[in-house]
A = this chain, B = another copy of it.
């Protein structure tokens, strides 16, 4: 399909047609056998290595533009494909073929007093629109997970990755065709014009779910413009709370891991709360360990600052904004709290509801914390970094939902499904 005219009515029509084809494909995909979907994925895995040259050439065009446009080294790294990265991508596709098909799973079965037999079974959602930014692997990730879960996908990637995404979408189309599946089951919107996105977000009779993955600007735009239900994959302002009954050595390992192992991801810790009774014993050593591990900048409240000052450990004063910030960098905001209850209230006020951990040897404190903290994952004596689809055993993830409806936390194949009710009777009518 060519988008030769950028005129708005034309674009509207083209996006609507694309969505209509996705809807038609979704009805086919919803009932095809697992083996066909896995065959398409196997073909895709093969093509990713067999066609590496073409993909890398397209990627080269994006990289040249990226350098011209002055993207940062980190941004360019995220954009870059290589033969090795394509191998890994192909392997991730093969892994999905080994996961169980969620479609058709019987969720519950009951017989009513009037003899009706009710079965609730898992079915695909239908048509899922994925709106994302620069990483090209997201194109393959989303395509493979939507396909395996029986959903048609409409992909809208970022402009920085346009040529790479287009090359990858061509492979996906080839893989679908080779398996005898509708090629409209996965479609890339062939323009990065924002008007196309705005049109897509209003097609609520054809598209059943929008998943935005990206920065705050993108998420806001999608939330404000979509009449289609949205599942947000938003930020993580994650807390670690070191309780007065904490094993302090364990607490130090956990905060170092949660903060420094991968600071750019949503389940990294950004906030440290320490109970006053253990603050003087814990903070100086923990701060030194954070600095030793990754030169972490500690942004402290007055109490924490006083302790680090006394211990001659490098730190700065926090601002109020720091206490609600997702730094995505080697920065940690540090506060001293007077009680478990204050820690819970602070988290429920300032966190983004993603992942929070308590370190304590007191089971009752942990129970209270896990019950009262209103976040997707609440961890006891473990790093926040574990809130992840692979670590949770889902086998794959399309992201980590920060919403409360439908899916909360990691979204795997199961969370890409809805259900329907099948009712079997013998002629029952209702009084």
For chain A residues 381-395, which have a beta carbon within 8 Å of chain B? 381-383, 385-387, 391-393
8 A Cβ contacts from A367-423 to B: 370-372, 374-383, 385-387, 391-393, 403-406, 408-409, 418-423
> B residues within 8 A CB of A420?
374-378, 408-409
Report whether A257 and B430 are in contact in the complex, using a CB–CB cutoff of 8 Å.
yes
Closest chain B residue to A224, Cβ basis? B227
With contacts A223-B204, A374-B30 taken as known, whether A112 is within 8 angstroms of B421 at the C-beta atoms is no
Is A7 an interface position by the 8 A CB rule?
Answer: no
Q: How many copies does the complex hold?
A: 2
When each residue 95-135 of chain A gets 1 if its CB lies under 8 Å from chain B and 0 otherwise, what string results?
00000000000000010100010100001011000000000
Nearest-neighbour CB distance to chain B for A13, whole angstroms, equals 20
Grouping DSSP codes into helix (H, G, I), strand (E, B) and loop, the A interface class, with mixed when no group exceeds half, is mixed
In the complex, the chain B residue whose C-beta lies closest to that of A28 is B372
For this complex, 8 residue pairs linking A to B, each with C-beta atoms less than 8 Å apart, are: A116-B382, A118-B392, A125-B405, A250-B427, A257-B429, A381-B426, A382-B425, A408-B421
Which among B208, B370, B385, B405 is the interface contact of A209 at CB below 8 angstroms?
B405
**Which residues of chain B are within 8 angstroms of A257 by Cβ–Cβ distance?**
429-430
Give the residue of B31, B209, B230, B372 whose beta carbon is less than 8 angstroms from that of A404.
B209
- Also in contact, A421 and B381, with CB within 8 A (given A227-B224, A405-B208): no
> How many residues of A sit at the interface, in one of the four size bands?
35 or more
Neighbouring B residues of A422 by C-beta, 8 Å? 370, 377-380
A231 within 8 A of B: yes
Chain A residues in the interface with B (C-beta under 8 A): 27, 30-31, 110, 112, 116, 118, 123, 125-126, 204, 208-209, 223-224, 227, 229-231, 247, 250, 253-254, 256-258, 261, 348, 366, 370-372, 374-383, 385-387, 391-393, 403-406, 408-409, 418-431
Chain B residue with the shortest CB-CB distance to A225: B227
Name the B residues within 8 Å of A419 (CB-CB): 408
Known: A371-B31, A418-B405. A430 touches B383 (CB 8 A): yes
Q: How far is the CA of A426 from the CA of B374 in the complex (A)?
A: 22
In the complex, what residue of chain B is closest to A418 when comparing beta carbons? Answer: B404
